[in-house]
Copies of this chain bind each other. A is one copy, B any other.
Amino acid sequence: MASIYLDHNATTPVRPEVYDAMEPFFRVRFGNASSIHRYGQEARSAVEEARSRVAGLVNARPSEIYFTSGGTESDNLALKGIAYTRRAFGRHIITTNIEHSAVLNSCGFLEREGFEVTYLPVDEYGRIDPGQVADALTDHTILISIMHANNEIGTVQPVGEIGRIARDNGVCFHTDAVQSAGKLPVDVEAMHADLLSLSGHKIYGPKGVGAIYIRNGVEIEPTAHGGHHENDVRSGTENTVGIVGLGKAAELAAEEREREFRNLSEMRDALEARIRFEIDGVRINGHPERRLPGTLNVSFSGAEGDSLIMSLDLAGIAVSTGSACTSGAIEPSHVLLALGRDPRTALGSVRFSFGHDNTMEDVDYVMSRLPGIVSRLREVSAAQVPG
């Protein structure tokens, strides 16, 4: 049976080059990077090499990169770490209503701890206007956290301009670049970013490892206290295997970004064109141009997302409704609602996300099955279709 993976925004397989780089660190070069004997030194030098590679991906200095357990931890550290460090100066944070739940729920926690959070609304394409950010600033604003590219719809934010506003106003700027790394240029200088989150498993590295860029001189309260690892920003024995994998993945991502962009765009655009042409009652979610190359989010009126995914899965096509949802409860995506979609339309949406190993044949295969699946589900729900 076909087995076509089109859910690369959820996670990616580890690339062979990455796997090969990691392999020796499981059993041979397995030392604790903080040990002073040779096992430790071998691990340490591998960790530092990986740090340079990650720094290279985002145009930072190696000393500004700290390893974490993933994008979620990086986001939590950025939000809470800055909030706790700067709370004497103010307790106001600005973000958007389409951030990843790692940012939104860190903000929720901070609100319960007495911080005030402004959730900026986006336009129908999911874009923030930098002017909105400027207008939301108060004397008490300590942090702006706005993602580079959205995981569900792929919309890319004008982070350079937002960073400029933050810088000019002496406010910290964090951006979640988990989805954009390896697909778009990510440059902490061009973005005027003070903090930036990355995750290994979205760029063909391993799960359970991520990184955070913290500009030299920006103080941060750790969220993981302990043995003073990672220059006292993030404690815990270094995950050498994961870090080496992330380093290698970052290197490949930087090298191949332009080619990747072209390939992913081509496949995504082909699928988008064919869906529009061959299926009625569809609506594309996200910005027409300012969008991640491989991401295509589509609403199919009258067909429910989970059923679509299940049917596609039975046909050997793996896609998702947007963010991998753990609760199992059906809830319309907060991102699609933020675009102004009605809940029913939001519920009938599917995200296709292309990756390194996809080909144009995959597009053909999807289009050999998708129209039939959509009409079958519409048949099942017929009386229920509004409009």
Separation of A108 and B101 alpha carbons in the complex (Å): 29
Separation of A16 and B30 alpha carbons in the complex (Å): 13
Contact yes or no, A69 B35, CB < 8 A: no
Fill in one digit per residue for A293-325: 1 if any B CB lies within 8 Å of its CB, else 0: 000000000000010011011000011100111
Q: Which B residues are CB-close (under 8 A) to A45? A: none
Q: Which B residues are CB-close (under 8 A) to A38? A: 313, 318
Q: Which B residues are CB-close (under 8 A) to A27? A: 13-16, 19
Q: Which B residues are CB-close (under 8 A) to A101? A: 225-228, 235
A183 on the B face (CB < 8 A): no
Q: Which B residues are CB-close (under 8 A) to A259? A: none
Fill in one digit per residue for A1-34: 1 if any B CB lies within 8 Å of its CB, else 0: 0000101001111111001000000111011101
The complex is assembled from copies of this chain, and their number is 2
Contact yes or no, B69 A37, CB < 8 A: no
A381 on the B face (CB < 8 A): no
Contact yes or no, A30 B11, CB < 8 A: yes
Q: Which B residues are CB-close (under 8 A) to A208? A: 69, 208-209, 236-237, 239, 241-242
Separation of A31 and B239 alpha carbons in the complex (Å): 21
Q: Which B residues are CB-close (under 8 A) to A69? A: 68-70, 73, 208, 236, 239
Separation of A219 and B108 alpha carbons in the complex (Å): 18
Q: Which B residues are CB-close (under 8 A) to A319? A: 37
Q: Which of B68, B224, B326 contacts A229 (CB 8 A)?
A: B326
Contact yes or no, B324 A225, CB < 8 A: no
Of A12, A14, A207, A310, chain B has the most CB atoms within 10 Å of the CB of A207
Separation of A267 and B178 alpha carbons in the complex (Å): 48
Fill in one digit per residue for A28-53: 1 if any B CB lies within 8 Å of its CB, else 0: 10111011111110000000000000
Separation of A101 and B105 alpha carbons in the complex (Å): 28
Fill in one digit per residue for A172-211: 1 if any B CB lies within 8 Å of its CB, else 0: 0000000000000000000000000001010000111100
Contact yes or no, A206 B26, CB < 8 A: yes
Q: A13-B26, A32-B10, A227-B102 are in contact. Are A318 and B37 (CB under 8 A)?
A: yes
Contact yes or no, B225 A320, CB < 8 A: no
Separation of A150 and B75 alpha carbons in the complex (Å): 33
Q: A208-B208, A237-B207, A239-B207 are in contact. Are A76 and B34 (CB under 8 A)?
A: no
A240 on the B face (CB < 8 A): yes
Chain A: interface residue total (CB-CB under 8 A): 73
Contact yes or no, B102 A324, CB < 8 A: no
A100 on the B face (CB < 8 A): yes
Separation of A228 and B72 alpha carbons in the complex (Å): 11
Contact yes or no, B207 A102, CB < 8 A: no
List 28 contacting pairs A-B, 8 Å CB cutoff, sorted by A. Answer: A5-B39, A7-B32, A10-B34, A14-B27, A14-B30, A32-B324, A34-B324, A35-B320, A36-B309, A36-B310, A36-B320, A37-B310, A37-B313, A37-B318, A39-B318, A40-B324, A69-B73, A69-B239, A71-B237, A72-B224, A72-B226, A72-B227, A72-B237, A101-B235, A102-B227, A106-B225, A207-B239, A209-B239
Interface of A toward B, CB cutoff 8 Å: 5, 7, 10-16, 19, 26-28, 30-32, 34-40, 68-73, 75-76, 100-102, 105-106, 108-109, 199, 201, 206-209, 221, 223-229, 235-242, 306, 309-310, 312-313, 318-320, 323-327
